[in-house]
């Protein structure tokens, strides 16, 4: 999966950056760092606008600061970021499928092909190289569902899994700028909770 996650490197031409669209700040998110404490940013749009970069600062700013510390170029940093956005959803769905089909022989093979299909489905491919809120949601949905399932089934480590859920939600803070996209997460978790209660009435109650 890591190998397939490197496919976005082929999208870069002559070591140039991928820019444009709704997330042009990915050219260098650190340029927005001085505006983190402000509700308005003059770096957005034509004459400025509401500082929608604030949610992105939870994820992008630390990542670019670490890359800058190690001396990575902006192009190389963007390559790493886009490859992570592309591969993390696949890794997350791999472990989710392994959990859901734990009783089936060779579930690793099924999980692998599920991950590849999840990474290369038409919806993911057509939304562009970096659509941070959507890509982070695609990663968060399976990993949160996995932690949620394990938390419901566990008697000793509920706090551990709850902490993991809180950490993932914090990391994907930038996804919450698009409520239409991120709303799928609580819908899926609620649906599984109802299923769990219906199939485990004694334990659930």
List, for residues 58-92, the tens digit of each pLDDT value: 777 888 889 999 999 988 998 998 899 889 999 99
- Taking each helix axis from N to C terminus, what angle separates 158-171 and 132-153, rounded to the nearest 10 degrees? 180
Q: What's the token pair of residue 12?
A: 């870069």
Indicate the SS3 state at residue 2.
coil
pLDDT at 115: 93
pLDDT at 160: 92
Angstrom distance (rounded) from CA 150 to CA 159: 11
Q: Which residue has the higher pLDDT, 125 or 83?
A: 83
Q: What is the mean pLDDT of residues 109-129?
A: 84
pTM of the model: 0.84
Mean pLDDT of the chain: 84
> Which residues does residue 40 pair with via DSSP β-bridges, in sequence order?
50
Dihedral, 43, 49, 55, 61 alpha carbons, nearest 10: 10
pLDDT confidence of 93, banded at 50, 70, 90? very high
Kindly report which listed range (102-106, 166-170, 195-199) carries the lowest average pLDDT score: 102-106
pLDDT at 60: 79
pLDDT at 192: 94
pLDDT at 194: 92
pLDDT confidence of 22, banded at 50, 70, 90? low
CB 147 within 8 A of CB 99: no
From the list 3, 22, 12, 10, the residue with the least C-alpha distance to 135 is 22
Q: What's the token pair of residue 46?
A: 């034509």
pLDDT confidence of 23, banded at 50, 70, 90? low
Q: What's the token pair of residue 171?
A: 């990391």
> Considering just the CA atoms, what is the radius of gyration of the chain in Å?
19
């Amino acid at each position: 999966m890591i190998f397939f996650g490197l496919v976005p490197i082929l999208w870069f031409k002559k070591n140039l950056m991928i820019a444009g669209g709704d997330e042009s700040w990915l050219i260098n998110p650190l340029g927005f760092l001085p505006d983190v404490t402000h509700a308005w940013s003059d770096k957005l749009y034509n004459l400025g606008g509401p500082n929608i970069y604030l949610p992105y600062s939870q994820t992008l700013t630390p990542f670019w600061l670490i890359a800058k510390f190690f001396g990575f170029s902006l192009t190389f940093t963007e390559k790493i970021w886009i490859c992570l956005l592309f591969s993390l959803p696949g890794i997350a769905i791999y472990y989710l499928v392994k959990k859901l089909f734990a009783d089936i022989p060779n579930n690793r093979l099924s999980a692998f092909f599920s991950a590849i299909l999840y990474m290369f489905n038409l919806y993911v491919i057509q939304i562009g190289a970096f659509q941070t809120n959507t890509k982070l949601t695609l990663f968060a949905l399976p990993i949160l569902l996995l932690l949620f399932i394990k938390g419901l089934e566990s008697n000793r480590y509920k706090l551990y899994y709850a902490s993991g859920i809180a950490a993932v939600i914090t990391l994907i803070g930038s996804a919450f700028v698009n409520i239409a996209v991120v709303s799928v997460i609580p819908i899926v978790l609620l649906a599984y909770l109802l299923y769990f209660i219906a199939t485990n009435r004694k334990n659930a109650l």
